[in-house]
Structure 1
């Protein structure tokens, strides 16, 4: 268990090692080291799944004949090489070790006598974490039990002026070192899922505005009087500055409180981005997290969050994640479950981009792509492949929270009347406005008499990922005529002594022409009906949530009837009717072949079939009647078994039991690695 402590105590440790360090320096001061790995260090692996062990130095005195480097892997010799030396000379070794959960011992010998050693060196992935307090994550740190995995490592600084620090293993540490829950949970999930050692270097600074994080001294980048300089010192001391590929940046709360800071945020972020690319030559990816809705009155905070959303389009190394709607939010920070949720959601993106786990595109936060008119409805179109959900109303503290109240059209929240999600689009019905220009989603800030922070609903995708908030996105295309819904007058007064109405005689109606010309199609008096194809092109595909996805060339105005047969193409029965161009059949089970047909007025599709058998990946969110579920690659489960359920999960690569999974007493649950054996 970690115990909260703002200064890491190391006195007993110093008493133990100081005599050893002193003796070594006395006996072997004739060697000056430029590079040597550290004990417990995780070296960054390359694309060939290897890492280089760099040993470099200078022999400053003569009378020596050889320098030998020996590397052991799990007590067996993995590498050994000797350099013959005469007099003062430099030496360098650059062997490669295999990535994976292996401990290596690196030892240097001078004339056959050990002079320096590093134990439990590993090769995997290392993440630098920067930002402010939410990049750390303190909520629940006192009770946190780190995973008992010796291949989780973090670097802790003791003294910046002396470049003093060391790599440690979380569960072997008696006190909390300032690393925080985001880093600890992120490395736990990644290591367990992908079976590589994971190291973290955490340089986040609580409460720091972005100007206090990009304060690089160009004459001395390691200036310890600046936060940026301390980050560089820490990266150098950990031995990782030239190796680090991945940086997690969580920030925006301090600058989101004040108008001027929010407005200048893009400029300050650009400065930081330039500095990071200068000082970290191997940097490949920055994971930039969009901040949550704050409680301080600042109408530019939404502008700041919108910049964070768009940063992936502006800078080539950035990926983004939204934090709006994260569990356990108090208006600034989160409880443990909130930080755990962020670590899990970030790990899925890293899993796709770093580890090649190409699961559904819905692991990303949905991002608005364009806004336009489709008939009389306004369409919010999100990333291709997203499966969007418009939320139902909810009640918090006896107050109704409705999504329509938090979508702003030209700054007004009385325009949206309702909405629905179809494929990657949200369709909105509007009223009370003509020719609107801009749309914003979610307030810039929020606090009311019911709750001190935003506890409303969110637009999500099928994975529960909340859409990025966006600010003043332009509407494309020509707006249609939108009906108004005027409010009735309050307590209208009846007229006094009303005058009788004046009747004006109507002019005579002229006789119609003998052969009237029909109005042109598409004119206001004869609007074009939606075009329904006479032949519907149906495609069916398997979905990892044990569903079948139907897609056809339809439109939002026509009703389509869905017919299905189970293991029989001759007896199809109707299972639903929908307007749109796609449908998800959730009432399916493994080991069946399903047949589908779509019909509309004067149109129908051919019968298409799909066999629900061995999927590559399965996302298990709902309990099925099956006792066995297998997948070719992976299974991710969120289900809770009942006390009588028997279930076996089997996959070739991994089975991930996520938050929400439960197997209570009385149930029988088995998870095993192997091939899919669905009958």
Structure 2
């Protein structure tokens, strides 16, 4: 029966009235364009005059029906737009008495993953459950068989745990379907992954071209280096040359990529070579050598053996990659700490007994406390190697600490210069363990570095004066002439911004908005060295009161009162002894009165933490005190409608309204019932008002707010 069935299909194909030259495959992903959409093209020729009908379904809902007349023996093309969203498109096609259905088509992004087994990352894939309805793969189980489209969990989950988790995260956060082309090869050296040295790169490019990803790859994620670390030191010596050749091919074959993410290899036990630290240092430096490269690492993530990580580690790697891809591809925020801290400079003070390790501006370095595990105490000080190698730690560090983006190493004896290595070149246990790391406030571990040079520090300068000039200028005066970098920040900025580099200068004039607060600092620089930062000086604008309420109060009222404005500062200032501060912000202060004022007008004085003063005036009603017996209520309160209603248990003979300005006016009211009244508030502006109600014997005061 099987041969007969095959003949039937061949016969059907031979007598088909339609020849398709382009038609989507089931589960195919089409690359999105800058408008977040893609086109699905149908190209065909019919042997007879006929009509084609294409029904377009999105997530099983009919979206559109297209009908076109078709002439015989004429090439036809129909392009149908689809959106790059969590939408799975199906196409039902009817032409010349034939019906075809294409299912699971999506629009989105291609991402390539390449390197060794830690980027393939299949460990735990069978137990990692993800809804792959909008996630795609293009691969084959058997190299002898053609590639085919599938959901990302098929065939055999070859996108890997990092890839599959990253696809899930991108879809959940940015709503974009993806196809991961993971071409990682277990145990592969860098040499074997370069074109001309085997079939690995050719296999990658074959998948890229046949999937339609050529010219449409958003990013490449690369993890490699274990082969060299676990082999011969000459492989490490040759690595920079080979990586340069590799990047030449990447730039030629993938000119469209936005980023190439290079994951620094870990600390391994397999072959205890000092040169392994040199390899990690080169990986760290690639972001400064190649324009599109960004670096990250997997340090401190749990390993399952000497080289490979646990599935939890692979999942965390995807989670740490997501903000980088979000920034670079999906227009998300560019926050300083989404990247692991990376060393920028190491300075030695004039005495030679303190080193200052400087990381990127905006990093908030966390220095770990000692950690005792199984009787062994891990101390971060033991994993800085100053003018030495992993095998010879000499205990030179007396103490260490972190402040903002800097780590300070206080030494037991002075040094003249040299280098610092952070983290050992190799591990002495298997699986490798390194239980203490420098991190930032997001928990990302610092990039390891090897024999990073120590530079001398110049004398620390001082800013001796800051002077306000008119109009809109601030003049800084320095302690002496020199070459300086001037930096400035505002009250709302995350960090300092470099304003200017000065040569042989002893002052600088800045043009700014004098109504804002500004802080300045400088550092001395020359061709080979720099100083620590100077003292900071501030331009502090005077506090401005823009609104204060309520200005008119009853004699027995305590608050709360609200002052709105700007330049109050963020630290609590000094106040009158009759004032109790509730909150103090740069643009708002709230307070209560701690004692009762006599009737009249009173100025309350406030002094900011910067010793600038301002006052507000409170008007205490002279008719008070009047005891409220809660005989009346006003509603709705606040009032945004035309009328305010008053219900009372007393007969109201007169009503007076006290305006926010303190002025009085007699009110006319409409009586709705025996003790129900209505007043027109349409003419009143927004603010707080006081109603004085006069009965036969009683008086009562009500307050209401008009919106």
TM-score by length of 1: 0.64
Q: What residue is the counterpart of 1:473 in the other structure?
A: 452
Change (3 A) 1:235 1:436: same
Are the equivalent residues in 2 in contact too, given 1:129–1:201 (CA < 8 A)?
yes
Matched, 1:156 2:136: no
Q: Does 1:274 align with 2:257?
A: no
Tell me the equivalent position of 2:28.
41
Partner of 1:655: none
Contact 2:385/2:421, CA 8 A, preserved across alignment: yes
The correspondence of residues 132-171 of structure 1 with structure 2, limited to 5 A, is 132-142=116-126, 144-170=127-153
Say if 2:207 is the partner of 1:234: yes
* Deviation, structure 1 residue 163: 2.1
8 Å contact kept, 1:66–1:110: yes
Q: Which residue pairs with 1:99 in the alignment?
A: 84
Judging changes above 3 Å, is the alpha-carbon distance between structure 1 residues 62 and 214 closer, same or farther for their aligned structure 2 residues?
A: same
- Aligned twin of 1:264: 238
- Say if 2:312 is the partner of 1:337: yes
Match of 1:458 in 2: 437
Q: Tell me the equivalent position of 1:31.
A: 19
8 Å contact from structure 2 (residues 134, 151) kept in 1:
no
1:285 aligns with 2:262: no
**Alignment partners' CA distance in 2, 1:112 and 1:277:** 48
Q: CA deviation at 1:39?
A: 1.4
Instruction: Note closer, same or farther for the CA distance 1:70–1:592 as it changes in structure 2 (3 Å cut).
Output: farther
Q: Secondary structure at the match of 1:184?
A: helix
Equivalent residue for 1:190?
170
The equivalent residue for 2:418 is 437
After superposition, give the CA deviation of every residue in 1:67-119 in whole Å (9 maximum; x if it has no partner). Answer: 666644344244737474453x54444443211111212455544643x5421
Partner secondary structure for residue 146 of structure 1: coil
Distance 2:368 2:107 in 1: 44
Match of 1:154, SS? strand
Task: Measure how far apart 1:387 and its partner are.
Answer: 0.8
Counterpart CA distance in 1 for 2:200 and 2:72 is: 45
Whether the 8 Å contact between 1:447 and 1:453 is mirrored in structure 2 is yes
Counterpart CA distance in 2 for 1:340 and 1:308 is 22
Contact map agreement 1:165 1:237 (CA 8 A) in 2: no
- Which structure has the greater CA radius of gyration? 2
How many angstroms apart in 1 are the aligned matches of 2:212 and 2:358? 45
Structure 1 counterpart of 2:191: 211
Consecutive aligned runs of 4 or more in structure 1 exceeding 6 Å deviation: 17-21, 528-538, 554-560, 564-567
SS in structure 2 opposite 1:100? coil
Flag the 1:465–1:95 CA change in 2: closer, same or farther, 3 A: same
The alpha carbon displacement at 1:467 in A equals 0.7
- The 1-side partners of 2:311 and 2:157 are apart by 17
Seen in structure 2, the aligned counterparts of structure 1 residues 161 and 567 have a Cα distance that, compared at 3 Å, is same
Alignment pair present for 1:120 and 2:101: no
Q: Rate the CA distance shift 1:200–1:408 in 2: closer, same or farther, 3 A.
A: same
Distance 1:127 1:477 in 2: 44
Match of 1:43, SS state, is strand
Relative to 1, partners in 2 of residues 1:277 and 1:542: Cα closer, same or farther, differing over 3 Å? closer
Distance of aligned partners of 1:384 and 1:120 in 2 relative to their CA distance in 1, 3 Å threshold:
same
Closer, same or farther in 2 for the Cα pair 1:19/1:309, shift >3 Å? farther
Query: 1:276 aligns to what SS in structure 2?
Result: helix
Hey, what's the Cα distance between the residues in 1 that align with 2:304 and 2:492? 38
Distance 1:46 1:241 in 2: 14
In the superposition, the TM-score normalised over structure 2's length comes to 0.62
Q: Report if aligned partners of 2:215, 2:254 keep a CA contact under 8 Å in 1.
A: yes
Q: CA deviation at 1:28?
A: 3.7
Contact 1:568 1:595 in 2 (8 A): no
Residues 262-308 of structure 1: CA distance to partner in whole angstroms, max 9, x if unpaired?
11112222222222333345333221111111112112211211121
**Conserved in 2, the CA contact under 8 Å of 1:331 and 1:454?**
no
3-state SS of 1:388 partner: coil
State the Cα distance separating 1:534 from its structure 2 match.
9.1
Name the structure 2 match of 1:379: 356
What secondary structure does 2:385 align onto?
strand
8 Å CA contact retained: 1:157, 1:234? no
For structure 2, list consecutive stretches of 5 or more residues without a partner in the other structure: 468-475, 477-487, 495-516, 522-531, 538-567, 577-581, 588-608, 614-707
Aligned in 2, Cα 1:18/1:195: closer, same or farther, shift over 3 Å?
A: farther
Report the Cα distance in structure 1 between the residues aligned to 2:12 and 2:334, rounded to whole angstroms: 52
2-side partners of 1:20 and 1:568: how far apart? 88
For structure 1, the residue ranges without an aligned partner over 5 or more in a row are 1-13, 218-224, 480-521, 523-527, 544-549, 573-590, 597-603, 609-679
Distance in 2 of aligned mates of 1:551 and 1:387: 22
The structure whose RCO (Cα within 8 Å, separation 6+) is larger is 1
Residue correspondences, number? 496
> What's 1:247 paired with?
220
More strand by share: 2
- Deviation track 1:496-533 (CA, whole Å, cap 9, x = no partner) reads xxxxxxxxxxxxxxxxxxxxxxxxxx9xxxxx998898
2:250 and 2:76 map into 1 onto residues whose CA distance is 31
Does the 8 Å contact 2:188/2:227 carry over to 1?
yes
CA RMSD of aligned residues (A): 4.0
The CA deviation at 1:416 is 2.8
Greater shift, 156-165 or 196-205, is seen at 156-165
Residue 300 (1) aligns with residue 283 (2): no
